[in-house]
A and B are shown apart, each in its own frame.
Chain A
Amino acid sequence: MSTHNITVTVNGQAHSAEVESRLLLVHFIRDTLRLTGTHIGCDTTHCGACTVLLDDRPVKSCTVFAVQADGHAVRTVEGLEQGGSLHPVQAGFKEEHGLQCGYCTPGMMMTATALLEHNTNPTEAEIRQAISGNLCRCTGYVNIVKAIQHAAGAIRAASAATPAHSVAAVGETTATA
């Protein structure tokens, strides 16, 4: 059966590997690249623990084949921290206690990151809608919503402090995906 030489840019770095057709993206990320921050939860496209950004759009990486990502860009939870500084979404989850067991957290944060890249001032309803494909069995979502609101505030404040850096512009690409 067929194998394929693929190159996937993960968190800004190109990775090449020979993969079986049936290898799922989540297994490529965790087992081939050893980036185990992305979790496997239900493995049935329901829970969202495995959510990563594929060309800036959240996808459930248990429901994409690695070969489909050939030539595309993937972001995982490991890509959020930059230069030793937490991403505002990570800081928000820390400040607002947006997790208990932490299992859903990587997927939840990637969905939140994508949301805030095209809407830096979401309503509570928009946040709850955005994360409705990410299941959390601990928190009741209240602190997760607060965490994302905290992150949104931090991103808006940073954007106001440095007008040349437009956070909103990053999300423009998602509209054409």
Chain B
Amino acid sequence: MIPSQFDYVAPSTLDDAVTLLREHGGEAKVLSGGQSLIPMLKLRLASPTVLVDINRIPGLDYVEERDGALHIGALAREAELERSNVVRSRYPLLADTAGVIADPIVRNSATICGNVAHGDPGNDHPAAMIALDAKFVIRGANGTRTVAARDFFVGLFTTVLEPDEIVTEIVIPAPPARSGGAYMKLERKVGDFATAAVAAQVTLDANGSCQRAGIGLTNVGSTPIRAVAAEEFLVHKPLDAATIAQAASMAAAAAEPVADRRGSEDYKRDLVRVLATRALQKAARRARGETSTAEG
């Protein structure tokens, strides 16, 4: 399959990239990892007339913890999250998520920022970023702004990004002590989009009760969904089996699945309940230090 013709430019600075995007308006697309965009071009689901390749801009491939937050640059690859010791030890939800995206070869190229900027509700990072209360740093022709993950996703393949804007960095607040997270995904085979998936991040107080909970749902709506009612229900409660079961039912109620080849609405909704239960249980075990974060 051959894409439509397009012009290709590879600027060496972010300023040049956003200038090019502004010049071409909505006709241009950003090429980063390309693992979603190039298949769409080949299937002619997208036909931009210009690709702005940001891969030759230096200094954007970092994954590093500083100033109380994890910073992920625009060109950091999924494989970097799997390799990063700080991610595996302190952000297990992210390590879980990276490990179930597409396959290991795709993850060598695919970027984390691209995964969120693409706006596909089937992508895995958006729900994780919502659960982690991440913020996205966005550079455009008119300057830089920051948007919370929970406010970023507008609709199917639609985000708050303007045509001349690039997600240049993801900033995730460092989890306090007694925090843990987990991502649970059911896929039909390696590399498939989720039938459904649930991201959970919890912080416990000194007594072991839930201080904060973040819950994001993947591929059960036109955007990733934040299970707000379930999050609020968990606060100040011990994360015991009955409480988690109740929160998981509330998360399932927040899902808006549509029937497709992966399953019926009822099936997917109940799958959210089961996956939310398991994700919260695992997040709680990790927050209590009961499991190795490397555990699968």
Contact, CB under 8 Å: A58 / B105: yes
> For the complex, would chain B's binding face be called helix, strand, loop or mixed by DSSP majority?
mixed
Q: Which residues of A contact B (CB under 8 A)?
A: 1-2, 4, 20-22, 24, 43-46, 48, 51, 57-60, 62-65, 67-68, 111, 129-130, 132-134, 175, 177
Q: Ordered nearest first, which 6 A-B pairs have the shortest CB separation?
A: A133-B103, A21-B8, A133-B105, A1-B5, A2-B7, A57-B108
Instruction: Tell me the smallest distance from the CB of B261 to a CB of chain A, in Å.
Output: 16
Residue in B5, B35, B55 whose beta carbon sits within 8 Å of that of A20 in the complex: B5
Residue in A64, A68, A132 whose beta carbon sits within 8 Å of that of B104 in the complex: A132
Q: Which residues does chain B contribute within 8 Å of A22, judged by CB atoms?
A: 2-6, 41
- Bound state CA distance, A75 and B4, in angstroms? 28
14 contacts between A and B (CB under 8 A): A1-B5, A22-B6, A48-B105, A59-B105, A60-B109, A63-B38, A63-B106, A68-B53, A130-B104, A133-B106, A133-B190, A133-B191, A177-B77, A177-B108
Q: Which residues does chain A contribute within 8 Å of B34, judged by CB atoms?
A: 63-65, 68
Contact, CB under 8 Å: A21 / B7: yes
> For the complex, would chain A's binding face be called helix, strand, loop or mixed by DSSP majority?
mixed
Q: Which residues does chain B contribute within 8 Å of A111, judged by CB atoms?
A: 105
Contact, CB under 8 Å: A21 / B6: yes
Q: Which residues does chain B contribute within 8 Å of A65, judged by CB atoms?
A: 8, 34, 38
Contact, CB under 8 Å: A58 / B108: yes
Contact, CB under 8 Å: B108 / A45: no
The residue of chain B having its C-beta at the shortest distance from the C-beta of A20 within the complex is B5
Instruction: Tell me the smallest distance from the CB of A125 to a CB of chain B, in Å.
Output: 10
